[in-house]
Chain A
Amino acid sequence: MRYGLSVLMRGAIVTATALFLNAQAGAATLLREATIGEPPPLDVMLTTADVASVIGRHIFETLYALDSTYTPRPLLAESDREEDGGKTIVIKLREGILFHNGKEMTAKDVVASMTRWGNYGARGKLLMGAATSVEASGKYEVTLKLSAPNGAWKTLIADVNGGLAIYPEEVSTSAGNKPIEQKDYIGTGPYKFVEWRPNRYVEVEKFDGYKPVKEKADGFAGARVAIFDKIRFIPVPDVGTRVSGVQAGDYDYAEMISGDLYETLSKDQSIQVQRTNAPIFGLFFMNSKQGILKDNYKLRRAIQTALDKSQALRVAFGPKDLWNAEGSIFPKGTPWYSAEGVSGYSAHDAKKAKELAKEADYTGTPIRLLVSTNYQAHYDEASVFTRQLADAGINVQMMVVDWATLLKMRGQPEQWDIFVTHHSFSPDPLLLTFLNASYPGWWDSPEIGALRAELIKSTDAAARKATWDKIQALIYEQVPVMKVGDAYTYDIASPKLKGLNPNGPAFWNVSPK
């Protein structure tokens, strides 16, 4: 009897252990990312919000993707050719690509997405504004005809942020200008949308029908392999909580950590620090349509001459590792880096500024500076500059509002003279907001008009760089915007995560150690 009981118990223990191990082996792996907040709808074509792009790039894909040097490489496209001096672009698509609803992607889907992007996409006009036609010239071939060649076309369609993400034809056609509904979050990415619980998480899971490209992974380009079964993007608005959450093991990755914690966290063995290689930069836009700064370039130069950008960067971003007082619009190491005009970047010469202001007939009229407190860095930069400008006798009146109000007010030229924002890293000058004449600031002088046309038309890399040099020189002469400097954001992750992407949060190819 006792022997029988002992055998039974041993059997039970072995079975339980086997069941436990089996459950462990079969348990779905989950990656938890703490984001800075709740995203807007994930219609990445329409929105440029980073928090939507980070989630969206796992679900939706583009024809091309940027590698670690920000060069576009084929993703959903297989190859391309240009005809008629660059005015006709023929893109051959990869075959056998499946949408998350099981349907195969064909040229019709790409044409419908391109059409919607051209009409309503956040950056659609940059390319499609000059499109005369876009059609399926084969089941897997799309032909785009332009009224003039566009030297940056591939870069313009190589990122999901306000970009040409490929949706199924019926989704693009039925959505029109409204953000697509959650049931229509259907892409071709390595992860598919599962659910969105307001203020709790957005969940995506591995898409078994995904077919990666053959090339090795490099930045956002190359093979994408989903290793984690599921990813949850969890909104955690407080930065302290994001940090403690990673330290406590409640999150595996946390975005956008504040500069004041950088030095402490860099030494912390329980986390890994991931500094972005693509800086963002603060921008002060001048009103080129109305008001005291409209075309008073001398007064604008007086303002820029009075400023010490390093001081503002130090206050806004903290440790020196996280910022660089760089006058070139594009950072060193990129093909667009230029030294043209940068001597005027951060002179900090109050005396010269006073002289320039006098020559510009400035009599102390208040200059209205529109800034939001939603981004602490914007406010910090504006506060430092306001004081520096006061030293040079330039009277700045700060108008502090929330971000939603600023977005509306900056569209009304009578409301402001300068407004503060920031710009994310751009792989091509054509993606810079201030080169867009309809973007608030409305820089559209005859000089920039001619240079912009030259930059779009030219398809030769060296010629485009030469044009960009001239544009940067003009930026320092006409001062449509003032660049504050490069700021490097950083994220933190559990030391167990391997294969993190240097271009930004993207969790394909990421594995638990």
Chain B
Amino acid sequence: MWSYAFKRAGTTAVTLLAASVIIFAFIHVVPGDPIYVLLGDTATPDQIDALRHQLGLDQPIILQYLTWTGHVLEGDLGRSIFFQAPVLSVIADGAETSILLATMTMVWVAIIGVPIGMIAAVRHGTWLDQGLSGGAMLMASIPTFWVGLYLILIFAAWLGWFPSSGYPSIFEGGLANLRYLVLPSLALAAPNAALILRLTRASMLDVSREDYVRTARAKGIRPWQVVRRHIWRNALLAVVSAFGFTFAALLSEAVVTETVFALPGIGRLVVQSILRRDYPVIQGVILVIVVVYLLVNLIVDLSYRLLDPRVELQ
């Protein structure tokens, strides 16, 4: 298992290098320029050229890439043009929100998606299964921003139970600040729980058709024990894998929810930085996201072995 982990780490490093080249190239291929956004409407060409020179944006792309890579290897992701702060601290600030939001969402997804998926699978073909699957389809189809706006309207503006938007750090206001993430995590959980529900159901139905399940039933084992010992555990592999990727995706792709709830998360940071062409931030964030994806991928692969001893890691 350790040699497998080392091998995978090596592949990860190569992937990372390739990703860094692609990130850098793509960002600089896109037309537009941070200087125009920074100086605004009335800047003269002289002012634009002077500031571009000051920020080193007039150097050849290769040179800019090598300088950036050099700094990254030293642990320095550069300095944001717009926030006037180190990219690492900007990302760290956004990461707190994104990690907590993704975690809370996954808790909702696990609480709602998995048990209901199991019930639907066990009651396969009944009106209960039809109802639950139909409900899941509905949840998956409603756009997140719509759910978000209605959650704000009902639970913040009308009932006043939760704050409407924003998120002050838990390091400043304590765990009570997690209440700011309740509505956004519910909005994000709706479509994701629906997907996990359907996946749990489908995966359990697949496993329940296996020979060993039939044998277990023929042996007279109680139905719920068959489900718990033989079906659920084996169906879990696919669900865990989906959990890993959903979590990684939530870290970086919750941009719509973050915008609706004015959350200072990673998704909003990256979109905003793209619109303003804040190159150091875009490069830094995408690099960190790639690292997270690769790590999650690695952890998921390694966890297969723990969940299912039959899996061999080579």
Q: Give the interface of A toward B (CB within 8 A).
A: 34, 37-38, 40-41, 46-49, 120, 122-123, 125, 162, 176-179, 181-182, 196-200, 234-238, 240-241, 244-245, 247-250, 374, 401-405, 407-409, 411, 421, 433, 436, 438-439
Instruction: Report whether A199 and B36 are in contact in the complex, using a CB–CB cutoff of 8 Å.
Output: no
Instruction: Report whether A40 and B82 are in contact in the complex, using a CB–CB cutoff of 8 Å.
Output: yes
Can you list 9 A-B contacts with CB-CB less than 8 angstroms, sorted by A residue number? A177-B47, A181-B84, A196-B84, A234-B166, A240-B149, A247-B157, A402-B32, A409-B31, A433-B42
Q: How many A-B residue pairs have CB under 8 A?
A: 155
Instruction: Report whether B153 and A244 are in contact in the complex, using a CB–CB cutoff of 8 Å.
Output: yes
Q: Beyond A236-B262, A244-B153, A250-B165, is A122–B43 a contact (Cβ under 8 Å)?
A: yes
Instruction: Report whether B165 and A245 are in contact in the complex, using a CB–CB cutoff of 8 Å.
Output: yes
- For the complex, give the distance between the alpha carbons of A34 and B261 in Å: 12
Q: Tell yes or no: B276 within 8 A of A by CB.
A: yes
What chain A residues lie within 8 Å of B64 (beta carbons)?
Answer: none
Which residue of the partner chain, among B32, B38, B269, contacts A40 with CB atoms under 8 Å? B38
Q: Tell yes or no: B198 within 8 A of A by CB.
A: no
What chain B residues lie within 8 Å of A125 (beta carbons)?
Answer: 44
Instruction: Report whether A241 and B165 are in contact in the complex, using a CB–CB cutoff of 8 Å.
Output: yes
- Minimum CB distance partner of B149 in chain A: A240
Q: Beyond A237-B262, A404-B277, A407-B37, is A248–B164 a contact (Cβ under 8 Å)?
A: yes
Instruction: Report whether A177 and B277 are in contact in the complex, using a CB–CB cutoff of 8 Å.
Output: no
Within 8 A of A (CB), among B234-271: 259-262, 264-265, 268-269
The A contact surface, by secondary structure, is loop
Which residue of the partner chain, among B43, B48, B152, B276, contacts A404 with CB atoms under 8 Å? B276
Q: Tell yes or no: B74 within 8 A of A by CB.
A: no
Q: Beyond A199-B272, A238-B259, is A250–B43 a contact (Cβ under 8 Å)?
A: no
- Minimum CB distance partner of B91 in chain A: A198
Q: Give the interface of B toward A (CB within 8 A).
A: 30-34, 36-45, 47-48, 50-51, 54-55, 80, 82-85, 90, 93-94, 145, 149, 152-153, 156-157, 160, 163-168, 259-262, 264-265, 268-269, 272, 275-277
Which residue of the partner chain, among A196, A241, A421, contacts B261 with CB atoms under 8 Å? A241
- Minimum CB distance partner of A439 in chain B: B42
- For the complex, give the distance between the alpha carbons of A182 and B152 in Å: 34
Which residue of the partner chain, among A162, A238, A405, contacts B31 with CB atoms under 8 Å? A405
Which residue of the partner chain, among B54, B153, B259, contacts A178 with CB atoms under 8 Å? B54
What chain B residues lie within 8 Å of A177 (beta carbons)?
Answer: 47, 50-51, 54
- For the complex, give the distance between the alpha carbons of A198 and B273 in Å: 11
What chain B residues lie within 8 Å of A237 (beta carbons)?
Answer: 259, 262, 268
CB distance from B181 to the nearest CB of A (A): 14
- For the complex, give the distance between the alpha carbons of A374 and B277 in Å: 14
Q: Please provide the 7 A-B residue pairs with the shortest distance between their CB atoms, ordered closest to farther.
A: A404-B32, A199-B264, A407-B36, A48-B40, A236-B262, A405-B32, A248-B164
Instruction: Report whether B44 and A433 are in contact in the complex, using a CB–CB cutoff of 8 Å.
Output: no
- Minimum CB distance partner of B153 in chain A: A244
- For the complex, give the distance between the alpha carbons of A48 and B42 in Å: 7
CB distance from A444 to the nearest CB of B (A): 14
Residue of B41, B44, B145 ringed by the most chain A CB atoms within 10 A: B41
What chain B residues lie within 8 Å of A197 (beta carbons)?
Answer: 93, 264
Which residue of the partner chain, among B33, B38, B94, B152, contacts A198 with CB atoms under 8 Å? B94
Instruction: Report whether A199 and B269 are in contact in the complex, using a CB–CB cutoff of 8 Å.
Output: yes
What chain A residues lie within 8 Å of B164 (beta carbons)?
Answer: 241, 244-245, 248, 250
What chain A residues lie within 8 Å of B145 (beta carbons)?
Answer: 238
What chain A residues lie within 8 Å of B30 (beta carbons)?
Answer: 405
- For the complex, give the distance between the alpha carbons of A213 and B69 in Å: 53
What chain A residues lie within 8 Å of B50 (beta carbons)?
Answer: 120, 177
Q: A198-B83, A407-B32, A411-B48 are in contact. List 4 more A-B contacts (CB 8 A).
A: A34-B262, A123-B42, A196-B83, A421-B41
Instruction: Report whether A404 and B36 are in contact in the complex, using a CB–CB cutoff of 8 Å.
Output: yes
- For the complex, give the distance between the alpha carbons of A196 and B54 in Å: 23
Instruction: Report whether A38 and B41 are in contact in the complex, using a CB–CB cutoff of 8 Å.
Output: no
CB distance from A255 to the nearest CB of B (A): 13
Instruction: Report whether A40 and B37 are in contact in the complex, using a CB–CB cutoff of 8 Å.
Output: yes
Q: Beyond A41-B82, A411-B45, is A248–B262 a contact (Cβ under 8 Å)?
A: no
- Minimum CB distance partner of A42 in chain B: B84
What chain A residues lie within 8 Å of B83 (beta carbons)?
Answer: 38, 196, 198
Instruction: Report whether B32 and A250 are in contact in the complex, using a CB–CB cutoff of 8 Å.
Output: no
Instruction: Report whether B156 and A120 are in contact in the complex, using a CB–CB cutoff of 8 Å.
Output: no
Instruction: Report whether B168 and A200 are in contact in the complex, using a CB–CB cutoff of 8 Å.
Output: yes
Q: Beyond A374-B275, A402-B275, A438-B44, is A198–B39 a contact (Cβ under 8 Å)?
A: no
CB distance from B109 to the nearest CB of A (A): 24
- For the complex, give the distance between the alpha carbons of A29 and B168 in Å: 18
Instruction: Report whether A182 and B32 are in contact in the complex, using a CB–CB cutoff of 8 Å.
Output: no
Instruction: Report whether A200 and B149 are in contact in the complex, using a CB–CB cutoff of 8 Å.
Output: no
Instruction: Report whether B42 and A436 are in contact in the complex, using a CB–CB cutoff of 8 Å.
Output: yes
- Minimum CB distance partner of B93 in chain A: A198
Instruction: Report whether A122 and B40 are in contact in the complex, using a CB–CB cutoff of 8 Å.
Output: yes
CB distance from A174 to the nearest CB of B (A): 13
Instruction: Report whether A408 and B84 are in contact in the complex, using a CB–CB cutoff of 8 Å.
Output: no
Instruction: Report whether B40 and A241 are in contact in the complex, using a CB–CB cutoff of 8 Å.
Output: no
Residue of A34, A179, A196 ringed by the most chain B CB atoms within 10 A: A179
- For the complex, give the distance between the alpha carbons of A38 and B37 in Å: 13
- For the complex, give the distance between the alpha carbons of A46 and B275 in Å: 20
- Minimum CB distance partner of A50 in chain B: B40
What chain B residues lie within 8 Å of A411 (beta carbons)?
Answer: 36, 45, 48
What chain B residues lie within 8 Å of A438 (beta carbons)?
Answer: 44-45
What chain A residues lie within 8 Å of B94 (beta carbons)?
Answer: 198-199
- For the complex, give the distance between the alpha carbons of A176 and B85 in Å: 19
- Minimum CB distance partner of B152 in chain A: A244
- Minimum CB distance partner of A232 in chain B: B166
